């Protein structure tokens, strides 16, 4: 009886190694450039920073509006300031006020 041993096929080893290396390259590419890869993470961090800046700017606007709205609270209104602003807008004076008329200054070139 003759016994023959089969030599392992080099092609099979080469094919398996090539497939494994190709799979590692695929995973590496996905880790670098994929949807949740390193490059995308950098872009996401930039987007987060930009949105935080926008949020801070909007928060400042909100605080400014809240401050202006609080001035309309009847408990906080100062009657003297209201009287002064009303007279300024209406171009009127109180009978007790002293009004001093200033002469108009000549504009240069006329």
Structure tokens at 81: 């300031």
- pLDDT tens digits for range 4-19: 777 777 888 899 999 9
Cα angle for residues 19, 20, 24 (degrees, 5° grid): 115
Contact predicate 76/70, CB 8 Å? yes
Contact 28, 34 (CB under 8 A): no
Burial of 37 (0-12, 13-18, 19+ CB in 10 A): middle
Residue 87 confidence (pLDDT) above 90: no
Query: To the nearest whole number, what is the mean pLDDT of the chain?
Result: 85
**Averaged pLDDT, 49-78:** 89
Q: Is the pLDDT of residue 89 over 80?
A: yes
- Ramachandran region, residue 38 (left: φ > 0; alpha: ψ -120 to 50; beta: rest): alpha
On whether the CB atoms of residues 31 and 38 are closer than 8 A, the answer is yes
**Whether pLDDT at 23 is above 90:** yes
pTM: 0.46
């Amino acid at each position: 009886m003759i016994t023959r041993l089969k030599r392992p096929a080099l092609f099979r080893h080469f094919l398996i190694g090539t497939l494994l290396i190709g799979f590692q390259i695929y995973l590496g590419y996905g880790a670098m450039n994929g949807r949740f890869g390193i490059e995308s993470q950098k872009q996401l961090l930039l987007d987060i920073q930009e949105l935080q800046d926008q949020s801070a700017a909007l928060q400042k606007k909100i605080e400014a509006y809240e401050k202006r709205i609080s001035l309309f609270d009847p408990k906080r209104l100062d009657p003297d300031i209201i009287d002064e602003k009303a007279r300024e807008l209406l171009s009127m004076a109180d009978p007790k006020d002293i009004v001093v008329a200033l002469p108009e200054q000549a504009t240069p070139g006329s």
